[in-house]
Structure 1
Amino acid sequence: MKTANMYIRQLNHTKNLNGVEELLQSEGDNVAKQLDKMMGMNVAIYNMAGEEVGDSLLFSSERDTEDILSYALKDNVMYQVIGDTMDYMSPLYDVDGPVGVIRFQYSLKKYVDFYKEVKSLFVSLGIAVIVISFMGAYFYFDRFVQLIFILKRDADRISMGDYDSIVPVKRNDEIGELSRGIYHMNIRIKDSICGMKDEQRKLEKQQKTFIGNITHEFKTPLTVIKAYVDLLDMYGDDPDLLKDANANIGKEADRLYELVDKVLHLSYLEKYDFELQSEKLDIKDVIEEVCRRMGGKAQKFNIQLEEKLMEKVFDSFYTVDKNRSREYGGTGLGLAIVKGLVEKQGGSIDIAHNKPNGTTFTVYFPLY
């Protein structure tokens, strides 16, 4: 606007006219066209009466500019935008004050088109971002849900005993960590159950062996007693048979009683956990008491063991010499009971020496 005022004043000075108002009245069209060339905008010039005194081209008659023109004539700068065109009006000044109004018409079409393009671009980008985000979230959460179902399926398989089909998910996040935890838990459960099954089979085998051994041990004295009872029924008046039967039946009955007593002791050791109460004692007195009690049995039973039999002497009902056992009433439970009692107290028992004159056992107890 300053450029337009300066140009008009210079032109007035050049023309030697009586003021800018006279210049606008006589040279209005030329001034408007020259300003159009200088500023690249359509130009119209009005005098103080609101009459158009010059323009660079015809303005659209459809545009209503009376309101902003009346305000501009009152020394105000005004503008209005209709469609994609802006009308801008500003007062023209001479040295004594306003002498008219200049109007610039500027096309906003390229800016409107640019705005529409930017708006359309942002809308398209927004829609694309929303669609991509939705699809990404859908596939991510779909995969996440599928992994949850896989973990649930693995848990169900573990509960049903299917331990061989569990495969960990290969992911470096919390889901992968949880899957690996389930997999390792599955391995531990499988190993534990296999161990329990092995232990159960071992216990069943031991139980069968135990029942077979005890049945055999019970059968021998019972057979002897039944045989003497049958003989007494047939030859009850034979004094020698009566005497012999009395002695042998009593002997076998004592053997049965001892056998039952030792079986009960062995069962207690295997079934119950005893609470040990530690106390100070004189080792010398204990050793002397053990030697006193075991002296007779050592002389009676102590024999040399064959190398292949040394690992079996602690088994229940195992006897090295069946004839000696029947002769002296051995049941094959003594060492098994001793081993159980020693181990209950945190100790151990081993064969220290195996010589022709007998076998030496060493018992170890921890010091508290």
Structure 2
Amino acid sequence: MLNSIVFKLGLSMVLLFLVVLFPMGYVLNAFLTNFYQQKAIDHLNDQTNKVISVIETSPERDLKNNLAVALKMADHKAVIYDASRRLSAISDFADDTAGVLQDQDWALLNSGTPVFKEWNAGNKSYRLVARPFYLRETFSGAVLIMSPVDEIQGTLAYIRSILLLAGLGAILMIFGFTNILVPQLSSPLLAMEKATRQIAKGNLDIKLNEQSQDELGSLARAINDLVADLKRIQDSRREFFANIAHELRTPLTYIEGYVKLLAETRESEEQRRVIPILVDETKRLKGLVDDLFELAQLEEGKIALTLEWVDLSEIIETSIEKVKLYAANKGITIRLTEEDVPILLLDGNRIQQVLINLLDNAIRYTNQGMITVNLKSIPEFIAVKIEDTGIGIPEEELPFIFERFHRVEKSRSRNYGGTGLGLAIVKKLVEIQGGQIEVASQLDVGTSFTLKFPKPAEERIK
């Protein structure tokens, strides 16, 4: 799952989006915070200037009344100080503001410099602006207006909650988008991966979609062309082997007959030495051609099966009986363990051919020890396992042992005989009857072949 291209593409898109989203959210939050804080200061500045304008333009006799009017113009806490730092007026909703302006603040105001600061009163925080005002061009006091920081923080908290909800919505959207888009982007690659695995297994009935005009479409066309070439090569090879096998069978039959005739009429010492070799090699060559001919027919689907309900236990016992003498001559015992299993719809003769071939191989490659044949019922299948204590097969050779003419350790294998086609025929015979064959091996420990045949439908329900 973690190594799948769908997961990697999806994770890459989500991470890319988050890398963009979080810095953008941080910058936007900082911008809005600065914007609203500056806006609050500007608003306090505007109100302070309005109050100062009323004070500075009012006639002296109306100043006291105009101070009250000026304070009503402020929608925040407002205080007016005279030149001696005494309270001249305070808005109705202003609390005690003693200690708001420190000596250094008043010195700045006295010099004509506005004061911007935050002030904490109990558990409340305020942002304030204080500006000096002048009557007849003489410093006459200061106007102070302050607003609770909570108002701005509340606004910012609301904006942040909107940003957070928008971010969560965007993340959910990218996850949904990823779940839809990534499978669509990766599905052609996954289809190609499955197709190449099937090609590697020898299944050339593969056709990929070539409609896309991008690189994926070009790759699909290349794979389809490769499959078509492989299929032509495979068909030509099958036809070649079939023709060779067919053409060689007749002359080999004649040669075998003449060699046997010579064996009956041999006279000289040289003939008595050479003719048995010719007989053995002729038999070996004829066996090779017969195997090749049978494999060609299997691959072309020309082998007719005689399917009938058979007792697999009985077929196994018959097969063991036929190879028992060969095993006994090598000092090898064959042990059969079996369970009660249902009858199966198979070609009995072909299954016996498979079993004898596997038993013959087990005996041939086992120098001492025993061969165990186990018949048992497993979920969905009836399994036959043939296990020996022979020389074993190297792990790197296991994927190829069912290929025609493949020999494990070629020089050694020739000493054991065989055509190199037996296991290829076994695999075909098992598969055309709906079965499977598996192999496991360890050098100098032994080899096991397991045949699996599907149970009848009524047995699988139980």
TM norm structure 1 = 0.45
Greater length-normalized contact order (CA 8 Å, ≥ 6 residues apart): 2
TM-score normalised over the length of structure 2: 0.37
Between structures 1 and 2, the one with greater strand share: 2
